[in-house]
Amino acid sequence: MSEDTVSNLIVPPALNTGLEGFVVWPGLLDANQQIALLDDIRAVVRAAPLYRPVTPGGKAFSVRMTNCGPLGWVSDRKGYRYQPAHPETNEPWPPIPPVLLSIWNELSGYSAPPDACLVNFYEDTAKMGLHQDKDEADFTAPVLSVSLGDTAVFRYGAAEGGPTRSVRLASGDVCILSGPARLARHGIDRVISGTSRLLPSGGRINLTLRRAVAPSDGTST
Ligand code: MD3
Ligand code: FE
């Protein structure tokens, strides 16, 4: 028995990415687990509709977004930040689905739960430029991502710059960025249409669990 199971999750062998602290678990979620999680995300999107943010410079994202959890990441002309309410409905974000908290508990190695979960929805032509995630107050917490739907070409490189590599992230894959990889440069080059039948109209959903505020701050969760 080399597999570790918690809450019906089988943790497959991790893939090494050549970047210390960036670990990918291909197929962590099987088909039924992906369907169940998609149902949870549909409920999140009913409570907190997807919207299209703009950058501080006023350019529309090609990705639509929403959030769940105590805090959500938003972008508008005032900048990037975490806030407790949806920018269009002004309602609090819905809770993070329990299965995502279980995955975090199992894989993150971090004692506090995530306080933010960004939901990114990519239509077939959407992409995300190379960037660093620096809007969080706590870089000691990892970032954990779950991919659903069509496969994406994910690009990454060291925080300091230099060459980049790419890896395909498919439906059910989970990755973690911690330690030296926490401030890695990363982005989505493209989504490959027709690679998954999970979403009836295609596209890709990425769920990113983060710790926006340090647990000891007591300002969240
Ligand atoms: C954090 N999203 O929303 S998530 C983002 O697939 C974002 O939607 C991508 O980057 C997506 O900010 C990737 C996973 C991820 C990957 C690499 C990282 C998060 C990361 C490297 C450092 C820190
Ligand atoms: Fe990012």
Given a cut of 80, whether residue 78 has pLDDT beyond it is yes
Q: Which atom of ligand 1 is nearest to the CA of 63?
A: 8
Say which residues have a Cβ less than 8 Å from residue 105's Cβ, sequence separation at least 6: 6, 113
* pLDDT score recorded for residue 13: 81
Give the Cα separation of 126 and 111 in Å (integer).
34
Structure-block tokens of residue 199:
């979403």
pTM summary value: 0.94
Structure-block tokens of residue 127:
């992409």
- Does the CB atom of residue 146 touch ligand 1 within 6 A? no
pLDDT digits (tens, 9 = 90+) for 170-213: 999 999 999 989 999 999 999 999 999 999 999 999 999 999 99
Cα 209 to ligand 1 centre (Å): 10
Top mutation candidate among 50, 68, 206 for ligand 1, by most atoms within 8 Å of CB: 206
- Does the CB atom of residue 44 touch ligand 1 within 6 A? no
pLDDT confidence band for 218 (50 / 70 / 90): low
Ligand having the closest approach to the CA of 208: 1
